[in-house]
């Protein structure tokens, strides 16, 4: 389950990274050129979108990397990343797969509760 959490989390977080690049770039362009936001429409929660564009991929990648050694911590980070992405963008066609993949990876990592070696999670 840890390998599945690592793979799913990494793929989903990389897709989040691409979405984050475009979203952060769009908010920056719409700040500097107001007519772009008027024509294409802007984000209602622009600050949340900007923070989620940066933090969600970082938390997802870090959680996936940690899921083999520290499954509980890695799973928690991936669940936070999926929740942050959902809070900022909602469940759209573009965000469905990364949210689902990182969320499932977080659940798998947390479900792999019994470690291979007796190591405390804290």
Its pTM stands at: 0.86
> Which pair of tokens denotes residue 53?
């564009």
State the average pLDDT for the chain.
88
Check pLDDT > 70 for residue 114.
no
Q: Which of 88, 67, 49, 52 is nearest to 11 (CA)?
A: 67
Contact 50, 24 (CB under 8 A): yes
For 6, 11, 54, the CA distances from 25, given in Å and listed in that order, are 28, 22, 11
Which residues, other chains included, contact 54 with Cβ-Cβ below 8 Å and sequence gap of 6+?
20, 24
Check pLDDT > 70 for residue 105.
yes
Mean pLDDT, to the nearest integer, of 97-101? 96
Confidence class for position 44, pLDDT limits 50, 70, 90? confident
Alpha-carbon dihedral 64, 67, 68, 69, rounded to 10 degrees: 120
């Amino acid at each position: 389950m840890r390998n599945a959490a690592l793979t799913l989390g990494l793929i989903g977080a990389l897709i989040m990274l691409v979405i984050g690049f475009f979203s952060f770039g769009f908010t920056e362009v719409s700040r500097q050129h107001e007519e772009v936001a008027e024509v294409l429409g802007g984000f209602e929660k622009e600050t949340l979108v900007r923070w989620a564009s940066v933090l969600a991929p970082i938390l997802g990648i870090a959680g996936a990397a940690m899921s083999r050694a520290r499954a509980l911590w890695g799973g928690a980070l991936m669940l936070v990343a999926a929740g942050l992405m959902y809070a900022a963008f909602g469940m759209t066609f573009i965000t469905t797969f990364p949210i689902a993949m990182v969320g499932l990876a977080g659940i798998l990592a947390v479900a792999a509760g019994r470690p291979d070696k007796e190591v405390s999670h804290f």
